[in-house]
Structure 1
Amino acid sequence: MRIPNWVPDAVFYQIFPDRFYNGDPSNDPPDTEPWGGIPTRENLFGGDLEGVIQKLDYIADLGANAIYLTPIFRAGSNHKYDTFDYFAIDPAFGDDTVFDRLIHEAHARGIRIVLDGVFNHCGVGFPPFQDLLRKGASSRYKDWFMPYDFPLRMKPYPNYATCGGVAYMPKLNTRNPDVEAFIHRVALYWLERGIDGWRLDMAYEIHPGFWRRFRKAVKERFPDAYLVAEEWRDPSPLLQGEAFDGATHYQLRELLLDFFVRKALSADSFARALEVLRGRLPPGAEWGMLTPLGSHDTPRLLTVCGGDPKVALLMFSFLFTYPGAPLIYYGDENGMEGGDDPDCRRPMIWEEAAWNQEIREGVRRLVRLRHKIEALRRGVFKMGYAEDRIFSFYRLGRGESVFVVLNDTPVARAATIPVLYEDGTILKDSLTGELYRVSRGCLRFDPLPPRRSLVLVAESEAAIR
């Protein structure tokens, strides 16, 4: 499968626009609440695209070179997954002029923009659905949706197909050629406006033929556009080279939580499970996977780590040294906390005194390493030693190799780790500068600090046995 060449080098930063930064209070809706309040499923805090523009230097300083924006089109909710107008920026977020400035300013900094495409369903304010509500069976848009009978009603239960039973999000009939043509027009329009790809919401709910034709329509004109599917289960059916360049790798996130957080797996059983997970992906698919540790649909990373920054940094260390495109959910780089939706969608904390500097500096260091060392982005993955709470792996590139050691032991310990390097090879920890020599086929640590990650690079072109 051909994945856009820029994707393996990308570090994504996910933004939920209403909660990132209020750059233009003049477009705030009347019921906008003061920044920093408690998020609900309905309230608004005034974040907008101007706010994203004003914080592009912050994002660039972090090392992210791609932004994934959750929906920005005109809609009725704070999350905007209930689209009213697929060709208009939501007025609470700005307008076409602001959007064009965002694209220009982001690209000027080498940052790509990927939008959220919500094509499985729309919002009740979508004009074709409004027409159906008014005219019923005589509406020209009757076949754009899946009504059960007429007249349509939303309460107590909708009598039409919806997204997850939510009445304000009617499901689109994507088997209708007119609907398909409309969605193609939407996708191409925003690509023409300068975006670099689409994250496709609930892609698993839409039949494969739709996505094959969608890919063809997009790639014929924009071959470098990144098409990434939302998927929470096995992504392999979506990754056969006919539809998507990648998928959200939530299965990998769950496996990491099982090892680092839930302690449900030892390192060797984690390694076996990871091999199974990797084996399910078609050849080459791992390079296009979007790998999150958190998102707008999950509790925040530090929260699931029980507030322990060292556990969070172990997971970040895996993320930034593993194949795929790592994704940082806004604020996780500073140790923001939050439970399930909507608590995970708190307004971004901009007061530096409230940031967890241990996590922030650790993330910035790891991102810099990923950009510096090509093997971390494009090198072959090879499993290493895995026993008890120590897991390791190699990234093997052109003339360079990296050995990653993740020690999840909660106390300092002595450890002897067999390696594939020849005796006498000197390895330097890129995180601390410490040097280690291979002796008798092993690296010896006495002690190996608790909950510590090492990113070991050979001082010279070392032979792998």
Structure 2
Amino acid sequence: MLREAIFHQAGGAYAYPIAKDTLMIQLRAAKDDLKVVYLIYGDRYCGTDPVDRVIMEKYASDQLFDYYRAKVQIKTRTFRYIFLLDDGKERYWYNEFGFSKCRPLGYHSGYFQYPYIAERDFFEIPDWVQDAVVYSIFPDRFFNGDKTNDPTTVREWGEKPTSQMDLYGGDLAGVLAKLPYLEKLGVNTLYLTPIFKSPTSHKYDTTDYFEIDPHFGDKELFRKLINECHKRGMRVILDAVFNHCGYEFAPFQDVIKNGTKSKYWDWFYIKDYPITTDPVNYETFARNVWRMPKLRHANPEVKEYLLQVGEYWVREFDIDGWRLDVANEIDHAFWREFRTRLRAIKPDLYIIGEVWHHAGAYLLGDQFDAVMNYPFREAVIGFFGERTLSVDAFDERLTINRVTYPKQAVDAAWNLLGSHDTERILTRFKGNKKALKLAVTFQMTYQGVPFIYYGDEIGLEGGNDPDCRRCMPWDEEEQDLNLFNHYRKLIQIRRKYEALRKGEFRTIYKDEATGIYIFERYTENERVLVIINNGLKEEEVKIDLKSLGFDPTKTVQELLRNEIIKTEDGLLNLTVEAVEAAILVQ
């Protein structure tokens, strides 16, 4: 037994509540090393050693490890437990003290303990999030619905952007005007990049956090947009740029004018005075981005100001969530208070952070519901687009991404293919729309929340910023309607089948030689089987559906082509074309 590979801790992604009296417990072991893992558990205040036993499910594997899990329920909500590991040759007991051949007995013998599921420790994501399909809008480039609020320097719609200062006239009236288009596509959640007053096109350099940028509209129009979205069953998420402000932010301008005598001097990280932008003598977003002075969140006044900003837009306009810009450069204490105070106003508010790397410290139920899943994007590009990842490597990347976080955070993550910070997905795929359609099929059937960057659904291209922020073309002659209909069909499929939105994920089969990748999404009452052929030739796939829980007496439907597939006693033979997929249900 490779004991050095075995790992568990009573917290994080390895032990967390999934109900008021139920824990999800995970254990890691070396790949293919163990035959069976028993979890023995009980009430931590029981006078005798625990005797309840469950066999843990091996539910995922990566290149090095297998991952086991089990749900355990104790009405008193107090847990202690130990593992019994069996590799077919020897057995070891495993607890906080390590490994032993004989079972440790007694209260102080080293049991793992989850002392109590406290109500406020339970990681709850809003009920509506798993039903969401998010559509990201960069307002200045989406649609110009009101030319009377255009800036004087507005550029011709459709010209390629060349700088952050290029303004095209897109606005909130444009979003409002295009709600029928968004309804037709099938999305039900809108994420707007910043809409507050700012001199740039991207508006990540906020001048006034309490005012809509006048080139976008006003508060009355914004309220109308929220109301119209809610009437249509759509949610609206705004962008919280709290790591830094804009150069024209009034407190920063006060510092420029008054120096150390300014009451806002300690709102920022000023190195010396007078303020200079070349060289930059104050901390900023990233390095020396003079337009974006970094805010000092340890200052109670700054913290309170930003918390009030967050509260204001929820309380006064009933927004449905905040996306948190550069969330990983703000202290955890701030985000904990942010969640507590805003959830007190709106209990089903969705909070998602921009974190491009490992985000475990933020995903324990006390800060964010989830993060933007950039590792998902890179895995999809590597497998479907660039073909630098084998099917095994692709599955391993996904596994690592899933087992790293509590299930709630995985279910609520934004699975994106592109964003305003990346080159367009079709450009990254070198214009290969067939490969993109296969990637979108995977995105819409995978665990988590699908995220569409405006224009991706009609084949909009573009390199890195600012080219990825081109104007949305509204002439259908400039749109790929075949690609649009592919997105639309998959969204309809996802919204129809609960297993695709809320089900578990399990890899069924993968073949390095052919590029076949098969997985299932399932609930207690529903199963959806997805077959991906990422190979360059058609393949015949044979599956024993009966072994997967399908009823051999019922027909099987393939959803992408609306075909009935014949089986013989539950055995399926299906030909899948190159770079195509099949989605099977009963």
For normalisation by structure 2, the TM-score amounts to 0.76
CA contact (8 A) 1:136 1:150 kept: yes
* Alignment check: 8 A CA contact 1:39 1:346 kept: yes
- Is 2:230 aligned against 1:107? yes
Please name the residue that 2:536 is paired with.
410
* Paired residues of 2:314 and 2:345 also in contact (CA < 8 A): no
Partner of 1:10: 132
* Alignment partner of 1:293 out of 409, 417, 425: 417
CA distance in 2, matches of 1:368, 1:398: 22
Could you say which residue in structure 1 is the equivalent of 2:459?
Answer: 335
Task: Name 1:162's counterpart in structure 2.
Answer: 284
**Distance of 2:517 and 2:420 partners within structure 1:** 29
Aligned to 2:519: 393
Q: Is the 8 A contact 1:312 1:359 kept in 2?
A: no
Q: Which residue of 2 aligns with 1:125?
A: 248
Aligned equivalents of 1:204, 1:276: Cα separation in 2: 20
1:451 and 2:579 correspond: yes
Partner of 1:198: 322
Partner of 2:152: 30
Matched, 1:61 2:187: no
* Alignment-mate amino acid for residue 24 of structure 1: D
Please point out which of 551, 560, 563 is paired with 1:434. 563
Tell me the CA shift for residue 138 of structure 1.
Answer: 1.0
Residue of structure 1 equivalent to 2:366:
242
- Which residue is 1:144 aligned to? 267
Q: Which residue of 1 aligns with 2:80?
A: none
Partner in structure 2 of residue 463 of structure 1: none
User: 1 CA distance for matches of 2:359 and 2:184?
Assistant: 32
Question: Counterpart of 1:462?
Answer: none
The answer to whether the 8 A contact 1:82-1:122 is kept is yes
Measure the CA separation in 2 of the matches of 1:113 and 1:379. Answer: 25
C-alpha separation in 1, matches of 2:428 and 2:543: 29
Letter in 2 for 1:36: G
CA-CA distance at 1:68 after TM superposition: 0.1
CA distance in structure 1 between the aligned counterparts of 2:405 and 2:569, rounded to whole angstroms: 36
2:496 to 346, 363, 372: 372
Q: Cα distance, 1:268 vs. partner?
A: 2.2
In the aligned structure 2, how far is the partner of 1:89 from the partner of 1:269?
Answer: 45
Deviation, 1:237, is: 2.1
Whose helix fraction is larger, Structure 1's or Structure 2's?
1
| Contact 2:363/2:406 (8 A) holds in 1 | yes
Contact 1:162 1:171 in 2 (8 A): yes
Give the whole-Å Cα distance in 1 for the aligned partners of 2:359 and 2:132.
Answer: 20
Q: Which moved more, 1:411-420 or 1:255-264?
A: 411-420
Residue deviations 1:169-224 (CA, integer Å, cap 9, x gap):
00000111111100111011100112111000000111111111111111122111
- Matches for 1:171-190 after TM superposition, within 5 Å: 171-190=294-313
What amino acid is aligned across from residue 407 of structure 1 in structure 2? N
Structure with higher Rg: it is 2
Q: Specify the alignment match of 2:204 in structure 1.
A: 81
- Letter of the aligned partner of 1:278 in structure 2? R
Distance in 2 between the 1:68 and 1:297 partners?
A: 14
Deviation, structure 1 residue 437: 4.1
Supply the distance in 2 between the matched residues of 1:168 and 1:406 (Cα, whole angstroms).
46
SS in 2 for 1:273: helix
Structure 2: how far apart are the matches of 1:344 and 1:418?
A: 45
Q: CA deviation at 1:410?
A: 2.0
CA deviations on 1:95-142 (whole Å, 9 max, x unpaired) are 111111111111111111100000000001100000001111111001
SS at match of 2:292: strand
Distance 1:283 1:271 in 2: 17
CA deviation after TM superposition for structure 1 residue 318, in Å: 1.1
Whole-angstrom CA distance in 1 between matches of 2:355 and 2:566: 43
Q: Any idea what the Cα deviations from partners look like across 1:223-279, whole Å, max 9, x if unmatched?
A: 111000011111222111110011100111111111111212221222122212211
Tell me how far apart the structure 1 counterparts of residues 451 and 156 of structure 2 sit (CA, whole Å).
28
**Unaligned regions of 5+ residues in structure 2, if any?**
1-122
CA shift digits 1:44-91 (9 cap, x unpaired)? 110000000000111111111110000000011110000000000001
Counterpart code for 1:455:
I
Letter in 2 for 1:107: H
SS at match of 1:170: coil
Count of residue correspondences: 456
**1:319 CA drift (Å):** 1.1
Structure 1 residues 341, 417: CA separation in 2 closer, same or farther (over 3 Å shift)?
farther
CA distance in 2, matches of 1:416, 1:173: 60
Q: Is the 8 A contact 1:112 1:195 kept in 2?
A: yes
CA contact (8 A) 1:385 1:417 kept: no
2:444–2:450 contact (8 Å) kept in structure 1: yes
Contact 1:144 1:172 in 2 (8 A): yes
Equivalent AA in structure 2 for residue 412 of structure 1: E
Structure 1: which amino acid aligns with 2:224?
R
**Which residue identity is paired with 2:157?**
W
Pick aligned residue for 2:471 from 332, 344, 347: 347
**Of 263, 268, 271, the match for 2:387:** 263
Of 419-428 and 36-45, deviating more is: 419-428
Q: RCO higher in 1 or 2 (8 Å CA, sep ≥ 6)?
A: 1
Distance, in Å, in 2 between the alignment partners of 1:145 and 1:163 is 12
